């Protein structure tokens, strides 16, 4: 996995489109393009570096009206077993997928479902939603940025839009506190996990 414990992590990008954007499009449902999406997490390791990982199997849906981005709905699902680590030590991936951490056999998915979108700028928004991981559901807020869109028929028979998002998750809040350092120490693996999300979404096929 090349990015985030989590979250939810987390998650998935949500809307914040400017009302007067010149490349507006009709309100519609979008589907996540998994070939152009990533969920990466990083966590402090011994106070020396930020260890990173990623989940490779993602699904998502997004309902977006560019004239009213605050009404958007986004949902995101991560297959926990798709955890991808860069040259992990022998047995480390299995440890993370086991009972002390994700417990993937019992909790095979991480999901994020938005509950509120609050615009913070022409192309930015805070997207709050319910993150469910390791059998626990907690509210998480992602800072999302609208990166742009293509017009249906320009390259493909649908509108394509792109978002980036970042957020933080406390792993102890989800019952995964193993290895968290004692107060005042960095010897261990930090509690705060930073999640970074890159997504592209495809809309309705105008040829149908």
Mean pLDDT, range 41-51, rounded to an integer: 97
Q: What is the CATH number of the domain that holds 92?
A: 2.40.128.110
Q: Is 3 inside any structural domain?
A: no
Share above pLDDT 90 across residues of the chain, in percent, rounded to a whole number: 84
Q: Is 192 inside any structural domain?
A: yes
Q: Is 2 inside any structural domain?
A: no
Q: Is 1 inside any structural domain?
A: no
Q: Is 208 inside any structural domain?
A: no
Residue with token string 């004692």: 182
Position 23 confidence tier, pLDDT thresholds 50, 70, 90: low
Q: Which residues of 50-66 are buried (b: 16+ CB within 10 A; e: fewer)?
A: ebbbbbbebbbebebbb
What whole-number distance in Å separates Cα of residue 58 and Cα of residue 36?
10
By 3-state DSSP, what share of the chain in percent is helix, strand and coil, each rounded to 5? 10, 50, 40
Q: Tell whether pTM > 0.75.
A: yes
Q: Is 146 inside any structural domain?
A: yes
- Using CA atoms, how far residue 122 sits from 142, 144, 207, in Å, is 16, 11, 31
Containing structural domain, residue 92: 8-202
Whether 16 shows a pLDDT value over 50: the answer reads no
Whether 45 shows a pLDDT value over 70: the answer reads yes
Q: Is 96 inside any structural domain?
A: yes
Mean pLDDT, range 95-106, rounded to an integer: 96
Work out how many domains the chain is built from and give that number: 1
Whether 4 shows a pLDDT value over 50: the answer reads no
Whether 8 shows a pLDDT value over 50: the answer reads no
H or E element in which residue 127 lies: strand 124-133
Q: Is 207 inside any structural domain?
A: no
């Amino acid at each position: 996995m090349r990015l985030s414990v989590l979250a939810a992590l987390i998650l998935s990008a949500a809307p914040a489109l400017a009302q007067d954007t010149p490349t507006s499009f009709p309100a519609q449902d979008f589907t996540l393009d998994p070939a152009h999406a990533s969920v990466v997490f990083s966590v402090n390791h011994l106070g020396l570096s930020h260890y990173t990982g990623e989940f490779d199997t993602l699904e998502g849906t997004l309902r977006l009206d560019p004239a009213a981005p605050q009404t958007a709905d986004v949902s995101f699902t991560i297959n926990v077993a798709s955890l991808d680590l860069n040259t992990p030590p022998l047995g480390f991936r299995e440890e993370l997928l086991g009972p002390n951490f994700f417990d993937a056999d019992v909790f095979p998915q991480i999901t994020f479902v938005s509950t509120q979108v609050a615009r913070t700028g022409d192309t930015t928004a805070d997207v709050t939603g319910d993150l469910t991981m390791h059998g626990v559901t907690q509210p998480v807020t992602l800072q999302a940025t609208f990166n742009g869109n293509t017009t249906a028929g320009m390259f493909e028979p649908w509108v394509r839009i792109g978002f980036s998002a970042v957020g933080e998750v406390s792993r102890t809040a989800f019952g995964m506190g193993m290895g968290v350092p004692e107060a005042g120490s960095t010897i261990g693996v930090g509690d705060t996990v930073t999640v970074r999300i890159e997504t592209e979404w495809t809309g309705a096929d105008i040829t149908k």
